[in-house]
Amino acid sequence: MAETLSLPGFVNAHSHAFQRALRGRTEGDDFWGWRDAMLELAESLTVEQVRVGYEQVYREMLNAGYTAVGEFHYLGAAEAHAAVEAASEAGIELVLLLAAYGRGGIDRFRQGSPAEYLEQLEELRAAGVRVGLAPHSVRACTRDWLEELGRYAAAESLPLHVHACEQPREIEECLAEHGLRPIELLAETGCLGPHTTVVHATHADAHELDLLAEAGARICVCPTTEANLGDGFAPVQELCERGIGICVGSDSNVRIDPLEELRELEGIARRRAGRRNVVSVSSLLCFGADEGAAALGLEQWPDVEVDLEHRSLAGVEDVHAGLVFGSSADVFV
């Protein structure tokens, strides 16, 4: 029996499992071009393909050290149940972050009204599924939708996840429509609070970061996907200076490796600061586990075992630092 070390399992706070199928494809000049390919794939999937495909992706996550996942789901109500079944088959803890999509995208993403959305959410809750609200973005949800969802999430103390400030164009459009930047609009519509997780926030400005800090909201950074899509650099140091909680997600699942997400997160911070050790190893491991669990409203989730005899850790003095800076997910048993 190999010698092992037990750690809190990594928590993948932001996943779109179906996008795993797009890894290794190179079409699309930018985020918006990639999005066209993603929409085409999303449109083509059947409920059965979701069930089978997600189970495979969730097994990969478990093998890579993630023991819980927040699935940010916008493929439809029947498909949400298929995702839940897939997670249960694979044996991963799942929180279904049901996306609200009022406009744009494709037909299967959209509900007719916030009431119809809340009906879908309540149906999942009644079936015993752990859920969170997920107004997709300020592109997909109008002010009315945001207000209604923000109210419901606060009243029910449920997690609320939302994409914001991933791309400059999204910010320009929000300014043109509302005279506010996306995170300012979320604050004004009651969508920012201690149960809120803003996904990306790559281009958030200082005022938006102050709003997040005041509200006690978190940010989910998805470094391997943000790199792949040319999103930009997360403002890691600015977040830490304000005491904003950070968690990580595999997002498009171009890579499934929590150590790589954490290493890249710190790598971004080091490149921008021009120095080493911007975030401590213990904080990085906390981002990878506890913060993700808190973002999903999970109090308990399974541990993970590290193979201390793995070649990546041979001769390493500080195992925790060796994990984050010198290992890949194959060190997990």
> Active-site residues: which are they?
200, 251
In terms of CB distance, is 252 or 327 closer to Zn ion? 252
- What is the Cα–Cα distance from 134 to 295, expressed in whole angstroms? 12
Rounded least distance, CB 200 to Zn ion, Å = 8
Residue range at the interface with Zn ion (CB under 5 A); choices 175-183, 251-259, 293-301, 323-331: 251-259
Please say which residue, 189 or 253, places its beta carbon nearer to Zn ion. Answer: 253
Binding mask 199-238 for Zn ion (x = CB under 5 A): ----------------------------------------
Which of residues 251 and 291 has its CB atom nearest to Zn ion in the complex? 251
Please name the residues in contact with 92: beta carbons below 8 A apart, sequence gap of 6 or more.
58, 61, 62, 66, 67, 68, 69
| Candidate ranges 142-150, 244-252, 308-316, 322-330; the one touching Zn ion (CB under 5 A) | 244-252
What sign does the dihedral 253-254-259-262 (CA atoms) show? Answer: negative
What string of H, E and C letters represents the secondary structure of 104-141? Answer: CCCHHHCCCCHHHHHHHHHHHHHCCCCEEEEECCCCCC
Q: Which is nearer to Zn ion, 260 or 324 (CB)?
A: 260
DSSP codes joined into one string, 21-53: GGTT----SSHHHHHHHHHHHHHH--HHHHHHH
**How far apart are CB 166 and Zn ion at their closest, in Å?**
8
Closest CA to 82 of 106, 108, 111: 108
Considering CB under 5 A, how many residues would be counted as binding Zn ion?
1
The distance of closest approach from Cβ of residue 287 to Zn ion in the complex, given in angstroms and rounded to an integer, is 17
Shortest CB 225 distance to Zn ion, Å? 8
Q: How far apart are CA 130 and CA 83, in angstroms?
A: 12
What residues line the site for Zn ion (CB under 5 A)?
Answer: 251
